[in-house]
Amino acid sequence: MAPRRNSWDRGLFHCFNSGSTCLSATFVPCCLFNRIGTRFRNQEVKSCGEDCCVYSGGCCLGISCVPLCFRRRAVRKQLGLDGNCCGDIMASLCCSCCVLTQLDHETRRTAATSPDEYQSPAKMVYTGNQTGNHSIEARG
């Protein structure tokens, strides 16, 4: 689990900071929900995955806030963000577009700094001298 942070990187109502994400959250929320889910699970993004179908089904039944609330809770728990279940429910019920934009930003930000990504090893340097002392040290 990630170390606890004080708050989300962006507040719930900072959804207009990214115009394209805001438009996606408004007009094709199922696609954005799918992208958030696949990024959250470190999977390759598919054009229409199971998350897209779950969110679309929720929209058809009038309960799209339910999968959104569960996703927000899962992201919050995994990233160690402050908050509680009541906050997740209220945010998902009252402003789903803002929640989608916030989740997209958080999962994108953490995916860019994921420790699972390849990091090149430090350079090994041989340092020998005239006195016969030899050592290998890592630099980088």
Residue 100 belongs to a domain: yes
Q: Give Cα separations from 7 to 37, 57, 84 (angstroms).
A: 21, 31, 12
Instruction: Tell me the per-residue pLDDT of 61-96, one tens digit each, with 9 for 90 and over.
Output: 999 999 999 999 999 998 888 899 999 999 999 999
Instruction: Tell me the per-residue pLDDT of 22-39, one tens digit each, with 9 for 90 and over.
Output: 899 999 999 999 999 998
Please give the Cα distance from 7 to 127 (Å, whole number): 46
The pTM assigned to this predicted structure is 0.73
Reported confidence tier of residue 113, pLDDT bands at 50, 70, 90: low
Q: Give the count of beta carbons closer than 10 Å to the beta carbon of residue 37.
A: 23
Q: Which residue segment(s) compose the domain that 60 sits in?
A: 15-139
Instruction: Tell me the per-residue pLDDT of 38-66, one tens digit each, with 9 for 90 and over.
Output: 988 888 776 778 888 999 999 999 999 99
Reported confidence tier of residue 121, pLDDT bands at 50, 70, 90: low
Please give the Cα distance from 91 to 25 (Å, whole number): 14
Reported confidence tier of residue 18, pLDDT bands at 50, 70, 90: confident
Question: How many distinct structural domains can be found in the chain?
Answer: 1
Residue 66 belongs to a domain: yes
Residue 8 belongs to a domain: no
Helix (H) or strand (E) holding 30: helix 29-40
Residue 2 belongs to a domain: no
Residue 122 belongs to a domain: yes
Residue 5 belongs to a domain: no
Q: What is the pLDDT of residue 93?
A: 94
Q: What is the mean pLDDT of residues 6-19?
A: 80
